[in-house]
Amino acid sequence: MRRSRPVLLALGALLLVCLTLNPPRRRAVAAPAALPPAEPEPRVDGFEAVRAGESVLLRVHGENLGDEVLLIVDGGEEMDVLTALPAPVARGALGFATAAEALAGDVTFWLQLPGRTLTLETPVEKLLA
């Protein structure tokens, strides 16, 4: 019994310390805020050029293109940045006006949207009678 007394005293002291300590408290975790709904992806359905004498009206048909849209006309040595006309043109398309000479030669077209750039195919040409 004499040998077990120090062990029992140590276990009793440990038990007393464990009972008097406050258990660790967990913080309440707030639920994560819901993410805002994703914006729909922009889509270009068509791109056409309507010639009228020395001018060209470039029309971009699509969905979710936004309001702040620029059309970049890259002719290799020279680049034109066109802003959209203030009102939509035929069937809600975005319209861009430029001189016919801007489309001469090998030209690349980009649609610059907020946060992204879309490459456009060569426009389908239509003549205004």
What residues does each domain of the chain span?
43-127
Integer distance in angstroms from the first to the last C-alpha of the chain?
117
Which CATH number, 3.30.70.360, 3.30.950.10, 1.10.10.60, 2.60.40.10, labels domain 43-127? Answer: 2.60.40.10
What pLDDT shows up at residue 57?
A: 92
CA 67 to chain centroid, in Å, comes to 14
pTM for this model (two decimals) = 0.68
* Residue ranges in the chain whose pLDDT is less than 70: 1-2, 15-19, 22-23, 128-129
What is residue 5's DSSP assignment? H
What pLDDT shows up at residue 58?
A: 93
Q: Are strands 124-127 and 116-120 parallel, antiparallel or unpaired?
A: unpaired
